[in-house]
Amino acid sequence: MNLFDSNLYLGRPTRGAYAPAATAVELLAEMDRQGIGRALAWHVAQRDVSPVTGNAMLSEAIAGQPRLYGCWTILPPQTREVFRKGEDFFAGMGRNRIIGLRAFPGQHNFLLNRQVFGKWLDVIAARRIPLLLSLENGVTWPMVYQLLEACPTLTCVLCDIGIWGVDRYTWPLLENYPNVCLETSLVALEDGGMEATVAQYGAERLLFGSAFPARYPESAILQLRHAEISDEDRHKIASTNLERLIAQVALEAEK
């Protein structure tokens, strides 16, 4: 099974973690141990130190590592910390193999909504850049619902969706917003959850994720290997759905 991991981080968090990967080399060694070919990574310093510091640390870590793609973390454009005046943000993403964005509104003290992000939301949606939101990292369900109501075409990947099965939250989103996907590290935990979601909304809406180093990658991998879905669907979830999302991302320079 060719695995493309949509949800793991490198770096060592403030509050500690069991055997994290401090560097890209350590992360790649762990991926080799797990049979994970490629990954869309973030750096925990983006959350725990500052998005500005963490974004730079991530770019530096994945430079020259073709198996690793990155997510930068965004902040409100008004403070010009991440979206800087006179800099082409998207071209910068392209130069650094950054093909996704993350936001931690709880930790970073802002609201992830139309008032704050304005036209940036439409630009991110039009460029088909995936926004990855972790329900364990400062994002709540009402926030997700409001954001998608404000920008229904956003490519949005909901990560770490919760320990308890949350089909009552996720299924209405899958029904209403065609560019919403779920990362599987906790879909896999709900007994029968993956099978039911695939039956209802199709395998295209799920992206494999390990949640390393918070969780054991073997958990989501063993579940996916033996999920009662077709091998074609398994293959989509394991890698090709994320490949498809990346192929759609447009990062050409602003005119």
**Binding-site ranges for another protein (CB under 8 A):** 17-19, 163-165, 167-168, 186, 188-193, 195-196, 212-223, 225-226, 228
Name beta bridge partners: 181: 157
Nearer to another protein, 128 or 205 (CB): 205
- Shortest Å, Cβ 48 to another protein: 18
Nearer to another protein, 163 or 250 (CB): 163
The answer to whether the CB of 60 falls within 8 A of the CB of 54 is: no
- Shortest Å, Cβ 34 to another protein: 9
The answer to whether the CB of 245 falls within 8 A of the CB of 10 is: no
- Shortest Å, Cβ 110 to another protein: 29
Cβ count near 183 (within 10 Å): 28
- Shortest Å, Cβ 33 to another protein: 10
Name beta bridge partners: 133: 158
Nearer to another protein, 74 or 203 (CB): 203
> Which conformational region is residue 114 in: left (phi greater than 0), alpha (psi within -120 to 50 degrees), or beta?
alpha
Q: At 249, which amino acid appears?
A: V
Q: At 112, which amino acid appears?
A: L
Nearer to another protein, 194 or 249 (CB): 194
Nearer to another protein, 39 or 74 (CB): 39
Nearer to another protein, 94 or 162 (CB): 162
C-alpha distance across the termini of the chain, in Å: 41
Give every CB contact of residue 42 below 8 A, 6+ residues apart in sequence: 9, 10, 54, 58, 70, 71, 73, 102, 132
- Shortest Å, Cβ 99 to another protein: 26
Nearer to another protein, 48 or 195 (CB): 195
Best CA proximity match to 11, nearest among 52, 38, 51, 41: 41
- Shortest Å, Cβ 71 to another protein: 21
- Shortest Å, Cβ 53 to another protein: 25
Best CA proximity match to 65, nearest among 103, 102, 19, 29: 29
- Dihedrals phi, psi of 238, to nearest 5 degrees: -65, -40
Cβ count near 222 (within 10 Å): 12
